Every structure is written in C-alpha cells, then in structure tokens.
C-alpha cells in the first residue's frame, strides 16, 4: 500500500515545499548535492531537465525504497538564461532588460521510484509576458518584495504579478517551481492515492 512508501522532495526550496504541501501527503525533504552550473551551449530547457534528474538521482541514492522528486527551474528569454540576481543592483538591471519582453520558465521535474528503478522525467514550460515598466516602478517593486533569490527578479505568487501583461501555460504551479499537475499524474501512476484518503 502506498501509504507505506516514503515520498522525498529532493529540494530545500521553501517554494517547492509549500507547493508539495498542497497535496496533503506526508513527505520528507533532502538536500541534493548537485552543481548547478550550466553546460556550454545548454538551452534553458535542457538545463532544467538535466538538473531535475541529477537532483532526484542524487537524493535517490540515500533512499532505497522511496518515491523521490527532483525539480529545477530555468528562466530564459530566447536562449539566454536568467540567473538569480542576488542583490538589488543586479535585480534592477535584470528587470530593466525584461521590460516588455516574454520570459519562458522551464520547470524540469523528475520522479524516481527507487524500489523499482522506474523514472519519470519532463519539462513544463510557462510564459510570462511582461508589460513595459520604468526605473521607478522597478525600484519600488524590488524594495517591497526583495525577490533576490528568484530567477527573473520577481515573484509571480506575490507583487511581481503587477509587472505582468499576461501569463500563458498549462500549469501555474510550474511557474512557482514545481508542476503539481504533472507530479500528481506521476504519483498516481506510482500507486499514490490522490486526493489522499482521510487519516
């Protein structure tokens, strides 16, 4: 019975943890030990897919009978990958360059059943079309939300939505960092009951 299976989120991201908590199933978290450097000529999509698999595979080695979820997100404008800014100056520069642009968030996700060796992997894209905004708007936004740990320098689940013209995609949770529609489908294939039975 799947209630006996351990589910592990291979991530220390508070955003991903909060998303997985929506499913109301017990899970553990583990930190993947994976270098996140981009390979030469690697596209944003390929980067997200590779890192999602590497994170799941790394954590899977520590759990011999579990369902391990790994995920990674890469934001890009065309083939240019957007980084996490880290500070106000870089965030302001990044947002200024994104004014009026379309940003595609590629969220890679991988589920590994360590008991059977079965693996599911894919990338869920989500596009944010930014409106045009000026330096004052950028500065006000950054000082209020301080999204310095977010690729693209904005939080879609917060005030960042005020910078958007429209959004486009099949799963809004992919934009936050973990595509729950895809995760739910794979967990059901792995035998997990969703929605869960009452305790």
Residue-range domains of the chain with CATH: 2-189 (3.90.950.10)
Which of 86, 11, 77, 10 lies closest to 44 in space, CA to CA?
A: 77
Which of 184, 187, 180 lies closest to 67 in space, CA to CA?
A: 187
Give the SS3 label for residue 173.
helix
Average pLDDT score over the chain: 92
Helices (H), 124-179: 135-145, 172-176
- Residue 37: the pLDDT is 83
The pLDDT tens digits for 80-125 are 888 889 999 999 999 999 999 999 999 999 999 999 999 999 999 9
Of these residues, 37, 72, 170, 171, which one is catalytic? 72
The pLDDT tens digits for 12-59 are 899 899 999 999 999 999 999 998 888 888 888 999 999 999 999 999
Can 37 be counted among the known catalytic residues? no
In the DSSP assignment, the letter for residue 198 is P
């Amino acid at each position: 019975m799947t209630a006996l299976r351990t589910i592990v989120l291979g991530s220390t991201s508070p955003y991903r943890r909060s998303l997985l908590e929506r499913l109301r199933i017990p899970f553990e978290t583990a930190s993947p030990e994976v270098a996140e450097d981009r390979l030469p000529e690697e596209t944003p999509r390929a980067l997200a897919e590779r890192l999602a698999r590497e994170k799941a595979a790394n954590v899977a080695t520590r759990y011999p009978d579990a369902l391990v979820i790994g995920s990674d997100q890469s934001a890009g404008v065309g083939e240019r990958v957007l980084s996490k800014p880290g500070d106000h100056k870089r965030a302001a520069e990044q947002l200024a360059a994104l004014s009026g642009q379309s940003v595609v968030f590629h969220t890679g996700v991988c589920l590994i059943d360590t008991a059977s060796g079965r693996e599911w992997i894919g990338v869920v894209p989500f596009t944010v079309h930014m409106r045009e905004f000026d330096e004052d708007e950028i500065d006000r936004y950054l000082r209020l939300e301080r999204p310095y740990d977010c690729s693209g320098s904005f939080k879609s689940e917060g005030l960042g939505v005020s910078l958007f013209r429209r959004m486009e995609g099949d799963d809004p949770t992919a934009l936050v960092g973990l595509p729950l529609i895809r995760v739910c489908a794979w967990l059901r294939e792995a035998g997990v009951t969703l929605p869960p039975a009452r305790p």
